[in-house]
Amino acid sequence: MSGSNKELVRHFFETAFALHNLEEAAKMMAESYVLNDPSEPTLVQGIDQWKQMQSMYLSAFPDHHLTISHQLAEGDLVLTHWSVTGTHVNDLPGVPATQRRINISGMTLSRVANGKISEEWQNWDSQGLLEQLGFNVAAA
């Protein structure tokens, strides 16, 4: 089971973040999907909220490229270590476009239930992103 879960999560990441096809990726998610991400001001609940959040990032970094470095799977859990590169050409909330290149990394732990991604816990270098965009986060 964990092997097929690993394949599902890899396909999900590639579809959403390499092909930028959020609609197709959403078909791999449970309706009750939840994303736990400390960099987000509120809990991301449901596919629509997830698509809104991801659309914001894909718009800000339209040349966004995700690389999966490692994946580990055990039971219903899949851990994905990833990195992203891109150019900040459109605004993020409170962050005007800078035209700067970024390179960040993170990890996402995905739980699969009934063949769908039902919940994720994500931690990524959000401070590093702001620093690469020219914001001094230590002074904030």
Task: Using alpha carbons, select from 71, 92, 89 the residue that is nearest to residue 80.
Answer: 71
Q: Specify the CATH number for the domain of residue 11.
A: 3.10.450.50
Q: Is-contact 2 75, C-beta < 8 A?
A: yes
Q: Does any domain span residue 56?
A: yes
pLDDT mean values, one per 10 residues, the chain (140 residues): 85 94 98 95 94 95 96 97 97 93 98 98 95 78
Q: Would you say residue 88 lies in a domain?
A: no
**What is the C-alpha to C-alpha distance for residues 94 and 45, in angstroms, rounded to an integer?**
22
Domain around 37: 2-82+106-123
Q: What is the pLDDT of residue 139?
A: 54
Q: What is the pLDDT of residue 138?
A: 64
129 within a domain of the structure (yes/no): no
Domain count, the chain: 1
Tokens of 101: 């290149």
In a domain, 72, yes or no: yes
At 136 the pLDDT is: 75
pLDDT of residue 2: 59
**Predicted local distance difference test score (pLDDT) of residue 94:** 86
